[in-house]
Chain A
Amino acid sequence: VTAIPDEVTMMDGYAALPRDNGELVFAALWEGRAVALAVALVEARGLPWDAFRLRLIDAIAEQPDRPYYESWAAALESLVVGLDLATEATLDAATPAERPVL
């Protein structure tokens, strides 16, 4: 089981992970997945957590009324594109229309 770095769980201010009664709140499975993707990507590329955190803060500032994890997803996409791992077009092509049936 991979540990989550403190700098992720202890973020404060606008970037702080939503909590209820002290516990992290995920409304849907994709939200936890999006967190795992950011943690894994930053670690795989040896980047400081700020490489993601600052994009997250920008994404929240851009659309303050947007749900937190949608801003998270936007920040993740911006990091992936910024690292030249994908373009908007390759992501469009890879975007499924339906949830795969398990």
Chain B
Amino acid sequence: MRATTSTTGPASPAHGSGRRVEAAFAALHGADNALLVPGVVAATTATLLALTNPGGHIIASDQTGDPLRSVLTRELAGLGRTVTFVDCTDADAVVAAVEPATQVVYVPSLSDPLMKPAPLNEIAIHAQMNDLLLAVDNTGLSPAELRPLETGAVVVIEDTAPYLDGWSEVGAALVTGLDRYLPRIAEQCARLGGEVDAWAAHLLERSLSTLHLRLTAQRDGAERVAGALRAHPAVRQVHRPSFEESPWALETHRGFGGLLSFEVVPEISDLSGVLAVCGEEGDGTPLATAARLPARTTHAHLSERVRQEAGISRRLVRLSVGVDDTDVLIRRLRRALDAALQQNEGGQ
């Protein structure tokens, strides 16, 4: 793990491509410095440890999935921090969770998998009024859609997947923010160890230059896919943010990226065909889009009761729309959903 050239800390020396990635990412967010860290869990853990003291309290999103959620509830507890999970898309819920020892509000800019945008402007005001630091996980939107530092966040964390790395080949994360906090985060990263290798940094550097172009395509593709899914009889609900539902976002957001999720009707029990649409099945060409079931992956560790309370059902499918031919993607999804419906009718 490395520090930027201008931050202090006992990190190993940054290689050229790593430095350039950090500089490019910082520029995308309007910051001066950034840190390239091997993994979003390590980046988030280091950030939260750096911004809090033993005995400190953190407010985090109740949509936080594994493995980060386990780190927050177990490892951080072992280091003297306590975490309260709340619905961070509701600023009042965040304020209600503030305790005397609260130091950090950790909010994903887009809740995953229910895809609700967090009102960062409002949360930032409450955070400032309560002397709290606002750290934002902007993985779901990327700087092409939202620059959280401009809304009042002090630190931004982003996984390189699905947006920063166009080919999903690099497992890394980037952290940027106000200069006064980055040296502490760099020091904490150095304690956790690890380093992003030069080749991975090189791949990332190439991808970052096309971020805005790719995001435009992914955003448009996600909108079309969401529209097609809403019209399909096998789909009960589509979770896709919009400016109609969140008009306040017009001030801060350019769009909502390429993520969406949808819940199929209760009659469908087998979703394997839907999950396979992005693979080589169907037309024989793999797609850049990724599909997964949160209840069996990121939120599998939660009890059914907690998942239900969070609105994450077993029939919820999360889609990360890539730079694909959207017509092909929609055609495959329709075919898979039709087949799932027919399978159910045949079974009856």
Chains A and B bind each other: no
Residues of chain A having any CB pair with chain B under 8 Å: none
Residues of chain B having any CB pair with chain A under 8 Å: none
